[in-house]
Structure 1
C-alpha cells in the first residue's frame, strides 16, 4: 500500500472549500508521449493506483516506461462500526489522492499509440473517475 513516510499531522480535516476548479499543476505531459488525464473529480485510493499500474504493465508486457504522476498523501479516517459518538477522531482507514479535472495520472513512453491506448483503457476501468487518453504535441 502506498503511503507517505512522514506527514506534518497524523490526521487532517476534509477540505470543503478547495474542491472546485481545475488542477493547478500536473496538467501537461512531462515525461512520456502518451498520458491518462482526469476529466472528472474525486479521490483515488492507493489500492486503485496500484491496480491501474499493474493493469498497464501487464498490457505493455514491460515494454517502454511508465510514470505515475499522482501520490496518495491525504489520510481518510473512519470510526469502527457500532461505536458511540465522541471519544475522538477515528483511526486512519486509507490514503487517497485528491484529483481535480485536468490532472495527468499516468504517462507512458517508448510504445505504440494503439498499445498505450489499450493499456490506459484497462487502467481507467480500475479508477473511479472519468479519464481520457492524451498525446504529446496536441493541445490538452
Structure 2
C-alpha cells in the first residue's frame, strides 16, 4: 500500500536514525498532530494500521494527513540459510523517523476526538509520541 512504485536501487544500506535537524517538525495542514519523541523506524504496515485506527475513530468525519512515507527497502535472508552468498531479497519497506518529526495531522474533528485517535495510533508504534496543537 504505502510503498514506492519503483526505486533507483533494489537494495539500500540500513542507515541510522539519528536526531539531527528535522524537516517536518511543524504542523502544516491540520490543527492537531502526532509528533515523534524518539527516533526509530516505521514499517509500511504500521503506518497503514495507525492511519486506519485514526480514520475508524473519526467515522468518516474530519481529515487525516500522513506525513511519512516508507521508501527504504528492508531485506531478509530466508530461515535456515547458511552465512554468505550475498544480501537477502527485499521483504518490506520502512521509513526512518527522527525525534520531533510530525507523523500524522488531523483536522475537522473535536480536540478530544483527535486526542483519542492519536492515542489509538500511538499504541501501534514502538517509540513514544506526543499530541501537538496548532498555535
Scaled by the length of structure 1, what TM-score is found?
A: 0.92
| Correspondence for 1:114 among 112, 115, 135 | 112
Give 1:1-140 correspondences, 5 Å limit: 1-16=1-16, 19-137=17-135
Paired with 2:94 and 2:107, the residues of 1 have a C-alpha distance of 26
In the TM superposition, structure 1's runs of 4+ consecutive aligned residues that sit over 2 Å from their partners are: 19-24
Paired with 2:89 and 2:104, the residues of 1 have a C-alpha distance of 30
Cα deviation digits, residues 18-54 of structure 1 (max 9, x gap) = x322452010000000000000111100110011011
CA RMSD of aligned residues (A): 1.1
Cα deviation digits, residues 57-110 of structure 1 (max 9, x gap) = 011111111000000001110001111122211011110010010000000011
Scaled by the length of structure 2, what TM-score is found?
A: 0.96
Instruction: Find the residue that maps to 1:59 and give its secondary structure.
Output: helix
Instruction: Find the residue that maps to 2:123 and give its secondary structure.
Output: helix
Do the aligned partners of 1:3 and 1:72 also contact (CA within 8 Å) in 2? yes
Paired with 2:62 and 2:95, the residues of 1 have a C-alpha distance of 25
> How many equivalent residue pairs?
135
Do the aligned partners of 2:19 and 2:39 also contact (CA within 8 Å) in 1? no
Unpaired stretches in structure 1, ≥5 consecutive residues: none
